[in-house]
Structure formats: C-alpha cells, structure tokens
Amino acid sequence: MTPAAGAAGPVLSHIHPTAATSLRARPAIGVARTIVLALLMLHAVEMTVLAGVARASGGRWHTGSDAMHLSSIVLWAAMAMVGWQMCRLLRGYRSLSVAGLAVQSGVLMTSVAVATDNVCAGVAVVTLATGILAGWGWLARTGPGIAGSAPATVRATGGGDQTSPAVDEVAVADRRRPGVGASLVGVLTFALVLAALSARSGIVFGLAILAVIFVPLERLFPLHPRRVLRRGWRTDVVHYLVNGTALKFGLIATAVVVGGFLRALVPEPLRLDVAASPTWVQIVAGLAISAIGNYAGHRAAHEIPLLWRFHRVHHSVRELDWLAANHLHPVDETFIRSAAVLPMYALGFGRIGLGTFAIVITLQAVFIHANVKTEFGPLRWLIATPHFHHWHHAREPQAHNSNYAGEFPLLDAIFGTLYLPTNRWPAQYGLDDLEPAGYLRQLAWPLTSSRTATRAARKPRPAPASCG
C-alpha cells in the first residue's frame, strides 16, 4: 500500500467503503483472528492443490521443456506473493493489495481453465480461491478490529462532494469557450476520425445499430429526462469511432508483447486440452475467465494512481447514457480489455471463446451505461444492469470503490465490493475535476498534470449507509 499525504499518514487502501466503519461496530478481535488463521490455512491448501494439479495426469505436464521451468518459476513466485499476503494479514491489513488481487484472480482463472479438462481438480481450486476471496471480502466489509489494523482508508477514484449549480455553469461556459488552437484541434480530430474509418469501415454500421437499439429504449424508459443529442455527444461519437480502432491495434500489440510470454508459462498440454474442449465449455469457461480478468483490470485502474489518471476520463462523464459507454481513454480501454483477453489467449481458448467475449462485452458495456430505469428484479444480482453500474459512477460517498464487475455482480459480492441499494438510483455522476472539452484535449488530459489525478485520493471517505 502506498502512503498518502496527510498529517496522520493515511494509507491508500484498496477496500470497500464499509471498511471505514468505526471500531465500535466491528466484530470481536477473536472472531477476526479466527478468520485470519482460516485464510492463512486456505492460502496454503490452495497453493498445494495448484502445485499438485501442475504435476497431475501421470506427468503429462512434466515436459522438461523451458516452458515447464517457466511455469514452475511462476508457481513459486505466486506462492511467494501469497506468503506476502499472509504477512499482510498478520500485520492487520484487511484487503488484497493490487499484486495480491492479480495473483488470486490468476489462480481463479487458471482453475476455471483446469476444470475444462479435470473437473474435480478445477472445481476444488475454484472453491478454495472463492473461499479465500470471500474471506478477504468479509474482512473488507466489516473492518474487524485486529491488532495492527490498517489506518483509515481514503478514496482513490475522485471526489465525493456534490457539485453546486455555480460550478456546473462554469463548466458549461468553459466548454463553450473556443480556446487556443481550436481550429487546429478540430482538423486533427477530423483526421483521426478519417483514419479510424479507413481502418475499420464497418464501425459506422455498428454505431447505427446500437443507436437503433438504445435510443428508443432510453426514450421509452428514461431514468433522467434528457435530450437524445445531449451535451458532449459529438465528442463521444469521436471516442467511439477512434477508440475502437485504437483498441484493435492496442490489443494486437499487447498480445504480441505480453500474450506470447504468458502463453509460454502455461503448460502446452493444458492449452491443448482447453482448445479441444467442446464449444459450449469454451464459451462458458471463457466468459467466466474474461469476467474475472475484467474485474481485476477495472479495479486496478481505480487503485493504481498512474492507471487512474487515464481511467478518470471515463468517470468524468456526468450524464450517463448508451453513448457514454465509449467515453474512454484508449490507454485505459486497452489495459482493462487486455486483462480480460490475454488470460484467455494464454490458456488456449480459441476464436470461439474470444469472439463470444468480444460480442458480450461490447453489448453489455453499452447496456449498463444506458439511461434506462429498470432494475430487472432478482436478475440484477446475477447480471450487471444499468442500476448496478450507475452506482459505480455515482458521486455519493457510500458508493465509491464498488461494483467493478462488467458482467456478473457475483464477483463484487465475492471480492467484497458490491453496493446495490434497492429502489434507489444515484442523483449525480462524475468527478469534482472538470474534464477539458474535445477529444484530443481529453486524450492529453492524463499527461498534463498529476496533481489533479491524485487530489481526490487525499480526501477521507466517510462511513457509508447500509445497503438496502
């Protein structure tokens, strides 16, 4: 954890807001220590089972090749990281670090892949990994008062103060001001759009299809009264046209640079078994793995200050609708999407699994940002909905650092980051920081200054109200 500024020296903790409750509301110290010891034992069992799986099937994975040696090195590195997480537990920290989150997510994703070939071993490790994460989530939600507990948490995702009308008026006036070099910026933006259209000629057709689907839905079931062409829609169209092409090249680059290395770490027999599994198995397992990777990447984008500087471009949106789903920085979008795609590629999933993920993630992302008032009843606990994701963008302090999953709220429930009140929607969205107008200015925003990107991380987070 990284110390933040302040007289008391608070720690930038990666936990759900409910961990900021007072010591009086926390469980007994004995109960907390029991949970800690249970997690330590589960950690040890988890890595033992994973090591056994790597040596399973009569030595089929014992190829003696360099890839196997790399796999062994990674396994030992993961065990060392788990040991570090054990030390953190003993010191009183109640949440996974980003590195610990990566290791546990990797274990969970690998276990799902193993289950496609060895159901018993895969289910066993998935159960263990889920139990460990649930334990971490319980500690994060309840904030048990164990010895050496972590200092008060701070928010790492932008301010929580309500914006006054005067500030909004200033923002509107600033957006209408032409600024220096506006003509040059417009020409460069137009050139980018033309380049994107030449690289992906069918992207306009995709935008038209999405508009035909979601514009009528938002008019029939509006959450907030809003014009179809609301403020900033032109910039968001540019985001859609340009970012789609940038993402394509970004994923290719990361697959070449990182994907090949990760693929070499996975024993070849496991990759072949995954590729040979039935189509429906690849689709189900692939969606599960990509959802876990997407959760981990999205959460890391909130908790690592450098990544947050790019991700805050998306959270600066103050009027959520279907088009706002594309209001993203290409660096941020490439990172989060890579966290979901690269594990599938490394584990041997073919085009069917990757193609299914691409379709589902695109439609789901647009759907959960839509300005549609519907809660979908009990299904909202199983499938990500606008009600679920709108709380992720909410400016209300109790909703901060929650609902990272893009497809399945169950992941947030396991990781301890679920916040889903009933019969209530956020009143406001966005951050305290004012985002510059125009695509190119928003592209350069993360690089202009680090002070505004970390300013919100220095604000203490008040204790939240309970979920309804």
- Is 280 in the same domain as 427? yes
Q: Is residue 191 part of a domain?
A: no
244 and 369 assigned to the same domain: yes
Domain limits for position 135 = 30-142
The model carries a pTM of: 0.78
In a domain, 190, yes or no: no
312 in the same domain as 443: yes
CB 406, CB 291: distance < 8 Å = yes
pLDDT, averaged across the chain = 74
More confident residue, 435 or 350: 435
| In-domain check, residue 395 | yes
Domain endpoint, select from 117, 142, 167: 142
φ, ψ of residue 143 in degrees (nearest 5): 60, 55
Where does a domain end: 142, 159, 180? 142
Question: Pick from 82, 108, 142: which residue ends a domain?
Answer: 142
How confident is residue 149, by pLDDT bands cut at 50, 70 and 90? very low
Same-domain check for residues 280 and 380: yes
pLDDT in tens, 191-208: 766 666 666 667 788 888
Task: Determine, yes or no, domain membership for 448.
Answer: yes
Residue type, 240: Y
Task: Note whether residue 451 is domain-resident.
Answer: yes
Q: Which residues pair with 291 in a beta bridge?
A: none
On whether both 105 and 232 belong to a single domain, the answer is: no
Does residue 304 have a pLDDT over 70?
yes
Number of domains in the chain: 2
Q: What is the mean pLDDT of residues 146-166?
A: 37
Would you say residue 58 lies in a domain? yes
pLDDT, average across residues 449-456:
49
**Distance between CA atoms of 81 and 86, rounded to whole angstroms?**
9
Encode burial over 369-380: b for 16+ CB neighbours within 10 A, e otherwise.
bbbbeebeeeeb
Residue 165 lies in a domain: no
302 and 408 share one domain:
yes
Residues in the chain: 468
Q: Rg of the Cα trace of the chain?
A: 23
Does 210 map to a domain?
Answer: no
Q: Which of 309, 325, 299, 317 is nearest to 426 (CA)?
A: 317
Q: Which helix (H) or strand (E) holds 51?
A: helix 29-54
